[in-house]
Chains A and B, each alone.
Chain A
Amino acid sequence: MLNVGKIEEGYVLDHIPAGKAMSIYHHLGLDRAEFPVAIIKNARSEIMGKKDILKAECDPETLNMDVLAFIDSNITVNVIKNGEIIEKKHLELPKEIVNVMRCSNPRCISTAESELPHIFYLADSARQIYRCRYCDVKYEEKDSGRIM
């Protein structure tokens, strides 16, 4: 088993589906971070078989829970202070997501007028479907390049 050192303050994202950690890394903007970030891929998991783990040493308040919940609401968020887990947060799908992703519909007003906020609403929580507030077009996995 690979070991990565403990962090003093920050967060550990656990139960990330294997292979998704790099995507989360980019979506959370961690590629631009100055603080230490560790990604463990394909860690053994009793429940999932294989999972990814992501650790970031930073102010835990900076974590965008909405983005994370949107990507996968089953991820566990462990908040670390003084080297200890002080809270385990479970994610809930946000009712509305603002300025996280862009609409893929070329006919949408949000693609024409750049100052408008990019707003998606949770249209179907069971199927985790988000739709553009302006034009109702569904956000799909293939649109992931449109995450801001």
Chain B
Amino acid sequence: MRHLLTPQDFTTEELNTLFDLADDIGKHPDTYSHAMEGKKLATLFYEPSTRTRLSIETAMLNLGGRTMGFADAQSSSAAKGETVADTIRVISCFADIAAIRHPKEGAAMVAARYSSIPVINAGDGGHQHPTQTLTDMLTIRSLKGRLDNYVIGLCGDLKFGRTVHSLISAMSRYENIRFVFISPPELRVPDYVTDALNDLGIPYEEVTRLEDALDRLDFLYMTRVQKERFFNEEDYVRLKDYYILDRNKLSLAKSDMYILHPLPRVNEIAPEVDDDPRAAYFRQVKYGVYVRMALILTLMDPASLNA
């Protein structure tokens, strides 16, 4: 049985197979509209989420399957003190596949350990968010036709931004990738991420000004400073508007640079940027559904990866 806890759970060859499937789903959605008929997806969301939950549920519905679950911890047995291990053991009796989002880091790993059905990590605290990473990777591949040879800038909350950590570790596996980390000193990438880059000999630089990085990027991955990750309101208020990408700053970027964002956006990208052809963040959402459909199909039939 296969789970998706981090993007590293799949080899690059397996990811290619998954992305090929996602491409095909995008081109021929009707072919897959009954593929999960009679199957149930449980969405265990201990933390609020709009797009990830709806994207995963849409993916299952598009495949002809059904969904069930809860959208916040208060409406689950977690409010009564049930552990993740016990919850997933019970859910394994109801559903065929589960997606879990939890504020605690490693919760999806615990779920996978005690589960008898495939588990999708839909975000665990500030740790990993692999389905967003698959979305980001499919977007990059679809926009430029490859996953190697890029300078990728990541901007904003690089400390608590789980999509950032997942994307860095996933893209590190491709040839000639360089990173530029753009963040205030308080929100730099954690050392486990930079240690891994150092070990792999992957070049990266850390800067605090967006203007200092823009001219050499092939992709700019913007992120929101997440209020829910701060213990201290004062720190959040101080850092939330540190970066705002507007048309003026964007004029420094290459004409074929793409802007990605895991969404939701607050005010780190000015709405005036939305009409720029380089703004790809709303297109990402569509790719997110395709890749989650491909993921569900793959986890329900892992042998397809070797077919």
Contact = CB atoms under 8 A, between A and B. Distances in A.
B104 A107 contact: yes
Given A115-B83, A123-B195, A107 B110 contact: no
Interface string B91-117: 000000000001111110110000000
B84 A113 contact: yes
Contacts of A23: none
Interface in A109-124: 109-113, 115-116, 123-124
A109 B192 contact: no
Contacts of B124: 109, 135
A136 B193 CA distance: 9
A111 B124 CA distance: 14
9 contacts: A107-B127, A109-B105, A113-B84, A113-B85, A116-B110, A123-B195, A129-B195, A134-B109, A135-B105
Contact of A108 (B106, B192, B199): B106
Contacts of A111: 104
B170 to A, nearest CB: 15
A132 B104 CA distance: 13
Given A133-B109, A135-B127, A112 B192 contact: no
Given A107-B125, A107-B126, A136-B127, A124 B106 contact: no
A81 interface: no
A105 interface: yes
Interface in A27-63: none
Contacts of A109: 84, 102, 104-107, 109-110, 124
Interface string B115-146: 00000000011110000000000000000000
B195 A124 contact: yes
Nearest to B105: A135
A140 B105 CA distance: 18
Q: Could you say which of B104, B191, B195 has the most chain A C-beta atoms within 10 Å of its C-beta?
A: B104
A107 to B, nearest CB: 5
A20 interface: no
A123 B106 contact: no
Given A109-B84, A113-B83, A115-B83, A134 B192 contact: no
A137 interface: yes
Q: Could you say which of A108, A109, A131, A135 has the most chain B C-beta atoms within 10 Å of its C-beta?
A: A109
Contacts of B84: 109, 113
Interface residues of A, number: 21
Contacts of A123: 192, 195
Contacts of A115: 83, 85
The 7 A-B pairs of least Cβ separation, nearest first, read: A134-B106, A135-B105, A109-B104, A109-B106, A107-B125, A109-B107, A136-B192
A50 to B, nearest CB: 32
Contacts of A110: 106
Contacts of B83: 113, 115
Given A113-B83, A116-B110, A134-B109, A108 B104 contact: yes
A105 B124 CA distance: 13
Nearest to B106: A134
Contacts of A112: 104
Contacts of A116: 85, 110
A135 B125 contact: yes
B109 A138 contact: no
A138 B195 CA distance: 11
A132 B109 CA distance: 12
A136 B85 CA distance: 20
A124 B85 CA distance: 29
A115 B85 CA distance: 10
Given A105-B105, A107-B125, A124 B199 contact: yes
